[in-house]
Amino acid sequence: METRRALLVDAFTDEPLAGNVAGVVPDAAGLGDDRMGRVAAELGASETAFLFEAGDGADERVRYFTPSTEVDLCGHATIASYAALYAAGEIDAGERTLRTNVGDLSVRVDDDGTVWMRQNPPTVEAVDETALDADRLGDALGIDPAALRDVGADLPVAVASTGLPWLVVPVNFLERLGEAEPDAAAVEAISNAHDAAGIYAFTFDAIDAESTLHGRAFAPAVGVAEDPVTGTASGAVGAYLRSVDAFDGDFPEELRFEQGHFVDRPGHVRVRVEGDEVRVGGRAVVSTEGELTLPAE
């Protein structure tokens, strides 16, 4: 029977069994949508990356599947893929181009194994409070609406994207964010109404002193109840923070977003925003490697 090499890789962490686990199939040549979907469901990670030869100016073609659907882009699965390829000696440090459903993107692998992914030029659009108020958001997230109103005057709710749209929701304190008990159906309805993959709620009240913020990402609309550490959302939030001038004109050279502590998968994402160029970066560790037996097409 046909087999393929398959990995589980923990992204945005230096330690196994932390961060955000991604499935990686380094050679997906010949796999159709049905079998990729079934492989993603079998591996059980929030997203699995399938790598193909690209040609025409790109080094790799990458497609991403959750256990239930294909998504256009996934930051942590990209970081996981290139970190695993570099650790196995299959690629060298330096710049590479990957082809995704949202276009060609640049990836750089540093000598220490850190992978940087350049995302698409950002878009940020504030959401009118009449279309989505704090009460509805609070009820959906299971957060006291007062914790959202407290910061809403300075930091609006917005849809931000660097390839995958996220609804960005500021929260006043970590305690309130930690208490979140989302209503999956309500979060999915709000996400769909704003053409977003999910809701990324954050607070500047972080656990680690060196962290810029603490975030939580809820994406039931794409089959992920809570994503431990989210690359695409981190890039979008970095762009959002610049757009709303969150640092009063003194934007940091690098941001550090912590995430995953409330699901026992702590990790962090490095984010750099320079004009229309947004990069997210991090390390990754292979936790599982083996051969997966495939069904017939």
Place of tokens 């995953």: 260
98 close to 59: Cβ distance less than 8 angstroms: yes
47 is catalytic: yes
- Are 256 and 97 in contact, with CB atoms under 8 Å apart? no
- Helix (H) / strand (E) element for 103: namely strand 103-109
3-state DSSP call for residue 141?
helix
- Answer positive or negative: Cα dihedral of 160, 230, 200, 234: negative
Question: What is d(CA 153, CA 104) in angstroms, rounded to the nearest whole number?
Answer: 37
Q: Are 228 and 219 in contact (CB under 8 A)?
A: no
Cα 262 to the chain's mean position, in Å? 16
Which of 47, 60, 226, 258 is flagged as catalytic? Answer: 47
User: DSSP 3-state assignment of 282?
Assistant: strand
Rounded CA gap, 217 and 200, in Å? 4
Q: Which residues are catalytic?
A: 47
